Amino acid sequence: MKKSIPGLVATLCALVCALTVGSALAQGRYPDKPVKVLVGYAPGGWPDAIARVVGQKLAEIWGQPVVVDNRPGANGSLAADLLAKAAPDGYTLLLADSTVLAVNPLIYLKLPYSAKDLLPVVLAATAPMFLAVHKSLPVNSLQELIAMAKAQPGKLNYGSSGIGSPHHLSMESMISALGLDITHVPYKGSGQSVPALVGGQVPMLFAAYPSLASHVKAGTVKLIASNAIKRATFAPEVPTIAELAIPNYNFAVSGGIFAPAGTPREVVNKIAADISRVVRMPDVMEKFTGMGTESAGGSPEDYAALLKGDVENWGRAVKAAGMKPE
């Protein structure tokens, strides 16, 4: 069933309250058996990589295996549904981006889960995406691109990794806020869209840093802005759209841990604390940098509050893109 943005926000507020009130005491020492982490995307992608880096360290801390279980499909909905139906004991977790709560309820008429089924535990990492332009496009800054687009309405296009993807919605939000007319050319993943940019089939797109870095070094593409709220530590020379043109613009991809609703508060707090510790380890931060990723961490309440903002932010982007629930 399609959910309204206010309804999703209200559900997240209820989850925050549930965390504050607390829950039944966890039985025994957690964990005392293997923990499964569901990932709603195929092996090799960003969420999978985050889950495996964090999972390996958690296994060392906990003395129990942490098994990554990839269940790709329906923009992460299949994995979210499995989590919703799992026992609320902390032994089945989900690593997902905010689309499972902020986007999917707005683009799918029927979802097998609802926001109340997923309990936010902790934000593990974020990954800014970069607005990249082909070397042949005569612009070297976001301001120059905006001026060009306004002078040539409807004549420019951009690529994305697919309809409803963060790459697509980041661009549509920017286009809407700035009153631009740029045509969308969707591809099936960044594995297709980035080569299209490099080959000059599309003049611009949003993409993650690792997929663009070698092409920037070769001089084939130029990075003119990022979609995060602050500059990336691994690319501080690239300004943000928020600082240049649209205050508070933030569409960096986030990767966080969810547990089934009803998971004991003590278990949730332990998972959040241990993951916060892991993502701040120097060797993990070094791996994340190579993945174009920033470490996060924090409390369950921090993550729930962030998701509340994401629901509103991504909801506006879905509306700007003109997407209808299917």
| Burial track 275-290 (b if 16+ CB lie within 10 A, e otherwise) | bbebbeeeebeebbee
- What is the pTM assigned to this prediction? 0.85
pLDDT band at 297 (very low <50, low <70, confident <90, very high): very high
Closest by CA position to 40, among listed 103, 87, 89: 103
Q: Give the per-residue pLDDT at 286.
A: 96
Mean pLDDT (the chain, rounded): 91
pLDDT band at 16 (very low <50, low <70, confident <90, very high): low
Q: Compute the distance between CA of residue 291 and CA of residue 48 in angstroms, rounded to an integer.
A: 12
% of the chain at pLDDT higher than 70? 91
Q: Give the per-residue pLDDT at 326.
A: 81
More confident: 280 or 76: 280
Q: Which residues contact 21 (CB under 8 A, 6 or more apart)?
A: none
Q: Give the per-residue pLDDT at 172.
A: 96
Query: What is the DSSP secondary structure assignment for residue 26, as one 8-state letter?
Result: P
Cβ(86)–Cβ(92) below 8 Å: yes
Express each pLDDT in 24-45 by its tens digit: 334 469 999 999 999 998 888 8
- Mind listing the domains of the chain with CATH numbers? 5-127+253-320 (3.40.190.150), 129-244 (3.40.190.10)
Q: What is the mean pLDDT of residues 229-247?
A: 97
